[in-house]
Every structure is written in structure tokens, then in C-alpha cells.
Amino acid sequence: MSQEQIVTRFPPSPTGYLHIGSTRTALFNWLFTRQKHGKFILRIEDTDRARSTDDATQAILKSMEWLGLDWDEGPYFQSERYDIYNAMVDLLLLTGQAYHCHCSPDELDQRRKDAQARGLKPKYDGKCRDLGLGPALGSVVRLKAPASGITQFHDIIKGPIRFNNEELDDLILRRSDGSPTYHLAVVADDINLGINYVIRGDDHVNNTPRQIQIYNAIEATVPRYAHVPMILGPDRARLSKRHGAMSVLAYRDMGYLPNALLNSLARLGWSYGDQERFTKEELIEKFSLENVGKSAGVFNPEKMLDLNAHYIRESSDEFLADKLIPFLEQSGFADLDKTMVKKTVTTLKARSKTLVDMAEGAAFYFQDDISYEQKGDEKFLKPDMLDLFEQLERRIEPISIFNQMSLEKMFASFMEENQIKLKKIAQPLRVALTGKTASPGIFELMEVLGKDRVLERIQKAVNHIRKKS
């Protein structure tokens, strides 16, 4: 007999952008499914029509695509699946597992207050449970949940979990406006789509017994559950924006690489020995739900930034050039030559933590007219540099193969003739060529700029010094 195919789902609500916690849940589902050669389904839970937006839906899809978390089916939209939900409610009514409740919100509120006053749990008291009522204006449909006994399940991460049924009440399946409740829609969808593993945040643990009761009422197979621990900020408080927990697309726009984000999220609550860095392929190969810890993971933005710098250093120049071009275009540079971008990447990747850093560092290569930082201008572009700069111009002019090797050779004889060390000329020349006091190595940046631009910028510095004098 062939083993049953594993089917998982990621069901974000499009009431906001995709954030770190939800993305980690998506990643764990995706890794588990890819490792087991299963099916990963994307479902958009958009039944909250007032708060769901198309912008948020598009942002979720873009985030998943940017991270490379591809899905095998979907996206399914709950707002388009009401027939499935109504069919399940009707079946539960037909089999006596659900009933119409005519209690008004005011009545329910009063009875809850009365129960609290008597020291009882403020849950629905089952008034309409056995009255055999039909539908009516303002009525809801409730599940006829077991009133005693226990509902239990074995969580792959947390182990055995049990709830006393008397703590739960007859939850509403269909509201008075005909819309399904969250629990009903989730279970109906999971049954319809064949979901057999539910991997989600542990804030859903208390939802699980209610959903299991719906499975049992419909006589459907209950999926296996794995509730992953929440993510905390460095101060061990619940993760929020003040900890740097922004949307996935915000990290993209800040110049992070997808791999840095995926690697950071995978390590929040999951471990594989002492290994810190993983390729996507290694994550798929090594991931297991059994190695997800029970305690919360702590999100460390600095660690993620360091990881991003590592991935930038390790990435190919070709890959980084493709990623960098949109950032350069955003800075106002157009008609970029990819070969030139690739050369600039070579000089900058060791010193850039993000693609935004790299784009800022690369700007001088593409500017038609650079401006000098005040401090560098005052300190290095002085009259005593005029003669040296003019000598350099004369020496650079005849060089036919303009590369680091030929430049180093020319500089060696230039410095010997003038009885100076490299630091005497390197920093003033750096300011003349880049406008800044910090940049890639002087010979490598000169090679990337090319002979014509180097001569043009030295001449500009000469004119600038004369003007100042």
C-alpha cells in the first residue's frame, strides 16, 4: 500500500501584510511538505470583507514569490467558497449534529453576566439545543458539541493535549447574516482540500478542540497537528514592530536577500546541531517538526543583518547585479549597463550589509557629476596636490590596458620618482574619484570607472582646488 501524500496549507488573512510570525509558519509548512514530496496549498482567508483588501492579498502573494515559497495549489479564496461551507452546515443540521439558535445577542449577553455573577463560566447555556427550532430571522446555527468527556490530540511538537468538553460550548457555525464562522470555514476547507497536516502558531492551540469536534461531528479524519512556538523580541516580549519585525516586503525594500530572511526564520525555534547557516536545499533536507522546540524563538535583527552580509559576500556577482539594478534605478540611474553593475558589485560585496548599502556605495560609479564630502574636501583636496594630480594625468593618458595590474605598476614608479608613500596620494585621489573618504580599493575602483572617467574626475579635482585657492 502506498503511503498517503502529505498535504499542508498556509492560510493568511489579507487584513494586513505578511509579517515575520506568519512567514515562519509558511516556511515550516513549505519545508516539511517539500521534504516529504507532498502538496503545499495557499488559501486566502478573506471572509472578513470589511478588513480584507486586494492590496494585502497582492502583498502576500508577492512576499511568498520573493521568498521562493512556491505553492502547488491555489490561491483559494474563502470568499468564493460559501457553497462548501453551507453544504457542511446543512449536513450537520440534517444529521442532528447542529441546531438553529434563536437567542438574541442581548439575551446572550444578559445570561453570560448572570453566569459570571454566580461564579460560572460565561458560555452559551444550550437553551435552544433540544428545542428542534427551524431557521428564523436573526437566528444562528450552532454545533451540538459533546457536553462531557474530553477532546484530546497528540501535537507533534507539544505532545499530548487534552481539553474538558464542559469547558467548551456549542460554538456558532453560521452567523445570523448567513456567513460562516472561522472554525467552520477552516474545517470545511481543510476537509475539502484534503489537508492532513496542520502546522500553525501555538496561539491556535485553543482553537484545535473546537475544530476537532466539527471533524468528529462530520465523521471526517482529524489531521495531525503541530503548533509552533511564538516568536519573541530580544527583550522576550511578544514580537512587534519596535523589535524590527516588519513586513516581508519591507525587508525586501531594505535590501535583504530572501535567503537571509528564510535562514533567520528557520532558526527561530528549530535547530540542527550547531549549524547556523543553511542553503534552501539543506533546509529542505534537514528540517523536521520533531526538532522544533517547545519554547519561543527570539528574533534578533542584528543577527539577521550579519547573516545578510554573509549571503551578499557568498553570492555570485551575476546574481547580485540583477538584485542591485532595481535599487540603483530607484536612486535615479537609468539605462544601466549590467556588465558595469557586475564590476561594481565585485568591489562592494565585501563591505555591504544590504543591497541598499551597496546601491549607496555604488552611486559614485554611475554619477555624471560627483560632489565632495566637506570633510574630505577640506582635508585632502589641497593646493599641494595639484602637481601630483597633474603628473598622474600625464602618466594615465598613455596606458592602453587599464587594469589593476597596470595601475599598480604605474603607481610604483610614480611614487618612487616623487619619493612619496601610497597614503600621500591614495586618500586625496579617492576623494577626487568618489567624493568620499571611504570606498573600495583605489586600483580596483579605478579599473571599474575606466580611464576616461578617471581622467575626467582628476581634472575636475584640479579645477576645484584651483578655484578654492
Given the residues 39, 144, 158, 241, select the one marked as catalytic.
241
- Determine the 3-state secondary structure of 120 from DSSP: coil
> 246-272 in b/e burial notation, b at 16+ Cβ within 10 A?
ebbeebbeebbbbbbbbbbbbbbbbeb
Contact 186, 218 (CB under 8 A): no
For CA atoms 444, 310, 21, 232, the dihedral sign is negative
d(CA 33, CA 446): 50
> What's the rounded Cα separation, in Å, for the pair 336 and 365?
11
Please indicate whether residue 241 is annotated as part of the active site. Answer: yes
Candidates 240, 248, 243; CA nearest to 265 is 248
b (16+ CB within 10 A) / e for 33-68: bbebebbbbbbbbbbeeeebeeebbebbbebbebbe
Helix (H) or strand (E) holding 186: helix 182-192
Catalytic residues: 241
